Structure 1
């Protein structure tokens, strides 16, 4: 069971973690999590090392990670764990998290995966960029190493091409990489206007629709690491299911793009994003 592998923090560890960063009242780290395996504890500890607060939305996990995270949160005031009773999808988990964050006055959320692939040490730089450009979304552009599956690396180029077409080349560096800072208010507005963006389609559809909404992208490089199963790596990506979902998403977005084309062209001609 997962809980047998979970990290048990000591008082000295938590004290050092808390002292290394002071809490932000505007920007938080939001980690949607579904059956991530033991890497989630390492991921959360790393995020907490660099930022406070950190929230985890447990999306109906059945691997014992919710209990392990709640035990960690009991000893760390900079960590909050929200547990959904059933799996709703990544986008739905993010929406639930930003709704709760907005109710407490937070304006921005840095989203990252719970499986250890995203670089926690880049959190301060991404947050600083967001604070300098509060009306923008700060998008991670992945820097792959040898651990990255070739099919995944090549396949994302297709989605990136479509995303840039659908936004008239407004500057989306990568449409699929989930390490990014969102301004909460426009993201909530975009998600409440339609019923999509609730599962694997969340990341690419969010950036396209936010561009349509007038939120400009700021791109920053970030290394990404793919872990093998023997290293604790867990992947829920299903090639056929998720690519069908992305295909249907881009069909929807192209239809929306055609309807918005006159307005987007006018905005570009006027020199506005």
Structure 2
């Protein structure tokens, strides 16, 4: 175990509405160090946390002028966290779906295995849309093939990353900036020798009346996932058939 282990909760946010404040408040109740990256938000949610700063010394807000996608926001937050002396980051969505109460347990697991990528495996409740639950099954079958079964769920963004390998993998590629971020970064980190630990975590879905927000575009983002898996399968096939190393690009 390294002499120092410092973990921060990293929350990328784009037009998250009122759910951003409730999500951050729930995290601060269980973990003191939080960085929120507002990714070019235009709904005013990027300023809803300003009054919380004086009371929470461990809360940092990074405002990005333009929307660059989740992967871009995570990269900017990870670079800031590394410079600030953190070694790990737990990422969670701003929309309240991820379980803030599980943050300490996930970070404790990461502390016990600091070289590992700790991946949340979603436990869906009855309110979860059936299309979302079944739609991820194909991606998980493919990612299981691409990673030798190391990654049990590739689309769940509740994770603890060791920051240095995360930044290395992201900076080596022009991809992994949008909806393809969560699955591809997990696969490529495993390919680079980062062990993966999988831990169940509850998921909560909110309907529109409860403020639920989704930025998933069915055609655009599914197309992006198809091309992502083609990239990964091609790289995986090169290694299996030709013995060539798996690159990050």
- TM-score band, normalised by shorter chain: over 0.9
Query: Does structure 2 retain, via aligned residues, the 8 Å contact 1:25–1:105?
Result: no
For structure 1, the residue ranges without an aligned partner over 5 or more in a row are 1-23, 267-273
- Cα distance in 1 for residues equivalent to 2:32 and 2:238: 41
Residue 28 (structure 2) aligns with: 48
- Cα distance in 2 for residues equivalent to 1:232 and 1:151: 20
Residue 205 (structure 1) aligns with: 184
Query: Does structure 1 retain, via aligned residues, the 8 Å contact 2:238–2:244?
Result: no
- Cα distance in 1 for residues equivalent to 2:159 and 2:243: 24
Residue 3 (structure 1) aligns with: none
Shift of 1:153: 0.4
Shift of 1:259: 2.4
Residue 128 (structure 2) aligns with: 148
Shift of 1:105: 1.6
Shift of 1:265: 11
- Cα distance in 1 for residues equivalent to 2:72 and 2:241: 31
Cα offsets for 1:23-67 (capped at 9, x unmatched): x96100000000011011110000111112011000000111111
Structure 2 residue matching 1:50: 3-state secondary structure: coil
- Cα distance in 2 for residues equivalent to 1:105 and 1:258: 38
- Cα distance in 2 for residues equivalent to 1:265 and 1:195: 21
Query: Does structure 1 retain, via aligned residues, the 8 Å contact 2:32–2:56?
Result: no
Residue 226 (structure 2) aligns with: 247
TM-score (norm 1): 0.85
Residue 192 (structure 1) aligns with: 171
- Cα distance in 2 for residues equivalent to 1:45 and 1:264: 49
- Cα distance in 2 for residues equivalent to 1:56 and 1:119: 16
Instruction: Show structure 1 runs of 4+ deviating over 6 A.
Output: 262-266
Structure 1 residue matching 2:115: 3-state secondary structure: coil
Shift of 1:71: 2.4
Aligned with 1:93 (options 70, 73, 79): 73
Aligned with 1:235 (options 214, 217, 229): 214
Shift of 1:255: 1.3
- Provide the aligned length of Structure 1 versus Structure 2: 242
TM-score (norm 2): 0.93
Query: Does structure 2 retain, via aligned residues, the 8 Å contact 1:55–1:80?
Result: yes
Shift of 1:167: 1.3
